[in-house]
Structure 1
Amino acid sequence: MRRIVRAPWELLKLVFGWLVLFEAANKLRLAPSAVRLRRFEDAEVRRLAPLTADAPSALVATVIATHRRPEALLHAIRSALTQTEADQVVIVVDDGAGLPERSRFPDDPRLFTVSLSRNCGTAGVVRNVGIRLTRSRYTAFLDDDNLWEPDHLARALAALRAPGGPDGVYTALRRVRADGTEQDVLSVPFSRRRSARESFLDTNAFVARRTRALHFSRLRRTPEVLPREDWELIRRYSRRHRVAHLPEPTVRYLMNPASYFTAWDEPPVTVPGSPGAPPS
């Protein structure tokens, strides 16, 4: 009987992919919080816009989301500002925890820092504020505990600006353990079909042409909520935009035990309310 009950769920996973099904369930379950967070995001953009009014219209805007990692943040900022592609603006958006003293930041006119009025605990909203406060043809993303190789933006932009090039690209990730040792290099060619079943997409490696589709979901994703907002943005962006993979590892991705990181292996495919799911 148990095998018969599970059959429809297994069939749906086979047809649509477990990540697609999980995200559909997320949208239903978390919709009320998403509405409230959209209102908060709009209010914060209106409040912070005067602080970034002088931000230049660079070729690419780099959005760095941060929360209570001052030392790691400074390293991330330096890796962004020392890119071989200099035509960029870097905006740091703090999720309501407070930023280090301004004197600790590099003295660079391309760098802007803002703090949300309160902690919203939703990475998508923090990053959306950064997107909306900048003006650029392309947008890139870097978390406060990760680093870019100096040619990350140059490689991505060369592919994006090539004749007939894609709208968005993501490079390979060099995954690093907390002790600094390298675990592996994650390099997976883009496939929408494969992305329905494997969570290999991460926005730290993603650079894309700015369009209305380039925004993160506003769902409040706790560590238990899969898939992550990175996967959702890139997969949704790929519906109407061409996304390509560059196999060069240009991101040092910290597998931080004190933070969220993608589990690249498929987890148990159960969601609350699905056949075979543990009781909530």
Structure 2
Amino acid sequence: MMRRIARAPWELLKQTFGWLVLFEARNKVLLAPTALRLRRFEDAEAHRLAADLGEPPAALVATVIPTHRRPEALRAAVRSALDQTVTDQVVVVVDDGAGLPELPDDPRLFAVSLARNTATAGVVRNVGIRLTRSRYVAFLDDDNLWEPDHLEQALATLEAPEGPDAVYTALRRVLPDGTDRDVLSVSFDRRRAAHEAFLDTNAFVARRNRSLYFSRLRRTPEVLPREDWELIRRYGRRHEVRHLPRATVRYLVNPDSFWTAWESPAPRD
């Protein structure tokens, strides 16, 4: 009884603001020092790698693929990006300090390695964003795949008259044995997103602007919400985000990876 009474204020806050919003506020307080250090590292690496690249890779769409020690999966992800029906694209692979495997020889593909491991997906992706020039930016993790028309479907909506600033498609979640788990398809709603973690950047294609950057908080697997949720929900505060209900992403539900958990954590006694 006393435990239920003690939890009452927390339950009220969750209902009012959403558990994800409350968790993120806590993260910003507890993890702020990590973000400051990582921002300095990100700035230094973006400057160093830009100098190495010379002319920044440029196209209609820049696809950013962060990676860390998944050579075979990375090659498959890169191939699914390069095999898009949209060819006006550059693909930048950003290795989180582990070293790059051999990748396909394609003039649209650029690959760089950070000077050290950050274990922070947001920083790795931010470096990729900053190294490229494009109207739109898309994101693909190194253990996921796109259907060949993923970018085509997204751009058809983005480039239409009065199109939104960003879109995200449905995800087909796949178990490690290759069988389908489900298809996640939820219309964009910032209020609903305060209570449910249904936003994932593997399906997200957005117009490049000042809002398009990832949180630099160092999020271990136990830290919720993920940086995907933070980016898309924040982006949607000032820019129109629209959902496309077609499944164009094969999303690996990998126990060893930071796959999106849709369920809220169970309350503690």
| Category of TM-score, reference length = shorter chain | over 0.9
Instruction: Tell me the distance in 1 between the aligned counterparts of 2:61 and 2:247.
Output: 20
Q: In the superposition, relative to structure 1, how do residues 244 and 269 fare at CA in structure 2: closer, same or farther (>3 Å)? A: farther
**Aligned position for 2:76:** 75
Q: Which amino acid aligns with 2:48?
A: R
Q: Which amino acid aligns with 1:89?
A: V
Residues 233-252 of structure 1: pairs in structure 2 closer than 5 A: 233-252=231-250
Q: In the superposition, relative to structure 1, how do residues 230 and 269 fare at CA in structure 2: closer, same or farther (>3 Å)? A: farther
Counterpart contact for 2:57–2:131, Cα < 8 Å: no
TM-score (norm 2): 0.98
Instruction: Tell me the distance in 2 between the aligned counterparts of 1:29 and 1:121.
Output: 17
1:7: how far off? 1.3
Instruction: Tell me the distance in 2 between the aligned counterparts of 1:16 and 1:182.
Output: 33
- Secondary structure at the residue paired with 2:133? coil
**Aligned position for 2:6:** 5
Residues 155-234 of structure 1: pairs in structure 2 closer than 5 A: 155-234=153-232
Instruction: Tell me the distance in 1 between the aligned counterparts of 2:92 and 2:56.
Output: 9
**Aligned position for 1:36:** 37
Q: Which amino acid aligns with 1:227?
A: P
**Aligned position for 1:52:** 53
> How many positions carry a matched residue from both structures?
268
- Secondary structure at the residue paired with 2:158? helix
Instruction: Tell me the distance in 2 between the aligned counterparts of 1:230 and 1:241.
Output: 16
Is the counterpart of residue 14 in structure 1 residue 48 in structure 2? no
User: Structure 2 unaligned runs (5+)?
Assistant: none
**Aligned position for 1:139:** 137
- Name segments (4+ residues, structure 1) moved above 4 Å: none
1:4: how far off? 2.3
What root-mean-square deviation, in Å, do the aligned CA atoms of Structure 1 and Structure 2 show?
1.0
Instruction: Tell me the distance in 2 between the aligned counterparts of 1:244 and 1:15.
Output: 24
Instruction: Tell me the distance in 2 between the aligned counterparts of 1:55 and 1:13.
Output: 44
Counterpart contact for 1:93–1:116, Cα < 8 Å: yes
- Secondary structure at the residue paired with 2:90? strand
Counterpart contact for 1:139–1:208, Cα < 8 Å: yes
1:269: how far off? 4.5
Q: Which amino acid aligns with 1:45?
A: A
TM-score (norm 1): 0.94
Counterpart contact for 1:55–1:110, Cα < 8 Å: no
- Secondary structure at the residue paired with 1:64? strand
1:200: how far off? 0.4
